Structure 1
Amino acid sequence: MTGHVKVEIADGVMALTLQRPEKKNALTGAMYDALSNALKQAEADGSVRVVLFQGDGDSFTAGNDLADFASQARGEATVDSPAHRFIGTISKVGKPLVAAVQGNAVGVGTTMLLHCDLVYLAENARLITPFVNLALVPEAASSWLLPLRIGHARAYAMFALGEPMDAAGALASGLANAVVPQADLRKRAHDAAIALTKRPAGSLSLTKGLMREHQRIAAQIAAEGEVFKERLTTPEAREAFAAFAERRPPDFSKLAG
């Protein structure tokens, strides 16, 4: 285990388990690096046929650790964070990616699912993309991929209003393959991963490549990344993170965009 990410390989499946339940699996720089390194390892290791994401505790992940964002907004840390590396890495993985999601999947916890090939949700899963609430913009090519998947109106509500999407809504919108009781979640996702290991790896990789517009995705990630970095340095972002730390509603009324 490295940086609260447990890496296990068995029967052709690399399971990546987020293990920071006391912080709702909020992702630190070390955790992003661990995930990126594991994905690179999976791509290079012929014994790994499928990668499975899962999280311990009552949440899949609370998304980026907001302390990191707040530090960047105050100019105390670089905005070239390990999160950008992870986003670039997951978007290029050629092997099948499976996710088992329970509880809240916030920010990158939702946008990374757009790069997964099979997604299984517990009945209590909630997909949340509160980028605008934090004076930021979407990432991981989600500003293109999410409207493409669920339509502009629903995607805009998720981004601009921060409206959560529950498990049933995600299934109906095409963001998930199935909704199952939480007790059955990991087994259902692992069974799917095992089933994929029995398919021809070359055919799976080529099929995934044909289904994804890699150049378009890479261009969108780059465009979002530039704006995201700029937004982190704005007065709006500083107000958003200060309000979060002080447990009060933010006041953007007197700030220019």
Structure 2
Amino acid sequence: MADIELQHDGRVRIITMNRPKKKNALTQEMYLDMAEAVDDASSNTQIKAIVLTGSPEAFTAGNDISNFLARGTETPRADENQRSGGMIFLDSLLKSTVPIVAAIEGMAIGIGTTMLFHCDYVVASNEASFTTPFVGLGLIPEAASTLLAPAALGYRKAFEMLVMGRRMTAHDCYRAGFVNEVVESGAALKIALIAAQHIASLPTDAVAITRQLMRSTTAEIGQRMELEAKIFRQRVRSPEAIEAFQKFLSK
């Protein structure tokens, strides 16, 4: 886990993305390591909550664009439809039996924003920002965000986020109900840990049952996630996506 750090604060597991030189841009290995950490927490009766965070400068810049370009221009493989590390990680978030709290400092781009739809509680510093530039890159959103964003934010705000790709501040997201708390810069992890410890102190079965009832559309969400992934794989190879990747990387 070279770029992912695991720590524990009592009954809370802290998963930290730690690739600061690349603003925590996510690699396949990072996705798989985080998925393993989430899955293990679900099977560990000693862990009652998870905190997902990044470095002080960036939560994550999203998927490494160079990986997208490589996928878009390489010769199709026999295992082309095999699930990516990103999909495996998102599926772990979706199916986690342990509540997940996110602590956001700095930028949350692409999957850095959409993964938050699968978290139970989100704390953001007042300098955090949220952007989903998928359409501008010739792609489509993922993480079932085409289903979850309209439900959480309303159609028009979701359109602004997912289609127009407009940057949203922490306060924008708080007003939209996407963020629970906005805190001073540098305090997101501290406040997220307080929330996680509160969750961990509650009766475990009551939390699990209530959470399961609230998340009763898991099957539908999983189906939307798979549909998005299928279209996403097609879009990665589209001429307009490849052109957008090349422009991005040339900057």
Equivalent residue, structure 2, for 1:250: none
Cα shift readout 1:114-142 (whole Å, capped 9, x = no counterpart): 11101000001111111101111111110
Q: Is the 8 A contact 1:95 1:204 kept in 2?
A: no
Question: How far off its partner does 1:8 sit?
Answer: 1.2
What's the counterpart of residue 146 of structure 2? 143
Q: Deviations over 1:5-54 (max 9, x none)?
A: 00112310000011111111111111101100001110111111101011
Q: CA RMSD in A?
A: 1.2
1:210 to 193, 210, 213: 213
For the residue of structure 2 that corresponds to 1:60, the secondary structure is strand
Give 1:57 shift.
3.2
Instruction: Count residues in correspondence.
Output: 246
Alignment partner, residue 246 of structure 2 = 242
Q: Map of 1:175-190 to 2, 5 A cutoff?
A: 175-190=178-193
1:50 aligns with 2:49: yes
Distance in 1 between residues matched to 2:206 and 2:74, nearest whole Å: 47
Describe the superposition over 1:109-168 as per-residue Cα deviations: whole angstroms up to 9, x where unpaired: 111111110100000111111110111111111001011111111111112221011111
Normalising by the residue count of structure 2, what TM-score does the alignment of the two structures yield? Answer: 0.95
Report the alpha carbon displacement of residue 232 of structure 1 after superposing the two structures with TM: 0.8
Q: Using the TM superposition, give the Cα deviation of residue 207 of structure 1 relative to its aligned residue in structure 2, in angstroms.
A: 1.1
The answer for the alignment partner of 2:176 in structure 1 is 173
- TM-superposed deviation, 1:243: 1.1
Which residue number in structure 1 is paired with residue 87 of structure 2? Answer: 84
Q: What corresponds to 2:160 in structure 1?
A: 157
- Return the alpha-carbon distance in structure 2 between the equivalents of residues 184 and 25 of structure 1: 19
CA gap of 1:188–1:57, structure 2 versus 1, over 3 A, is closer
Q: Which moved more, 1:75-84 or 1:141-150?
A: 75-84
Write out per-residue CA displacement over residues 148-205 of structure 1, whole angstroms, 9 at most, x where no aligned residue.
1111111111122210111111001000111000232211110111111110111111
Aligned to 2:186, what secondary structure does the other structure show? Answer: helix
The 3-state SS of whatever aligns with 2:101 is: strand
Quick check: 1:127 aligned with 2:118? no
> 3-state SS of the aligned residue for 2:59?
coil
Query: Is residue 73 of structure 1 aligned with residue 72 of structure 2?
Result: yes
Q: Deviations over 1:61-99 (max 9, x none)?
A: 001111111110112575642111111111111211000
- Given that 2:144 and 2:224 are in contact with CA atoms closer than 8 Å, whether structure 1 keeps it comes out as yes
Which of structure 1's runs of 4+ aligned residues deviate more than 4 A?
Answer: 76-79
SS at 2:182 equivalent: strand
Cα deviation, 1:217-254, whole Å, max 9, x if unaligned, reads 1111011111111111111111111111222xxxxxxx
What is the DSSP-based 3-state SS (H/G/I as helix, E as strand, rest coil) of the residue aligned with 1:99? strand
2:111 aligned with 1:112, yes or no? no
1:72 & 1:131 partners in 2: Cα distance?
A: 16
Q: Secondary structure at the match of 2:202?
A: coil
Alignment of 1:57-68 (within 5 A): 57-68=56-67
| Distance in structure 1 (CA, Å) of the matches to 2:9 and 2:191 | 16
Secondary structure of the equivalent of 1:136? coil
**Structure 1 stretches of 5 or more lacking a match?**
248-257
Aligned twin of 1:23? 22
Q: Distance in 2 between matches of 1:33 and 1:215?
A: 22
Is residue 3–residue 34 contact of structure 1 (8 Å, CA) maintained in 2?
A: no
Q: Percent identity?
A: 35
- Give the residue type in structure 2 aligned to 1:44: S
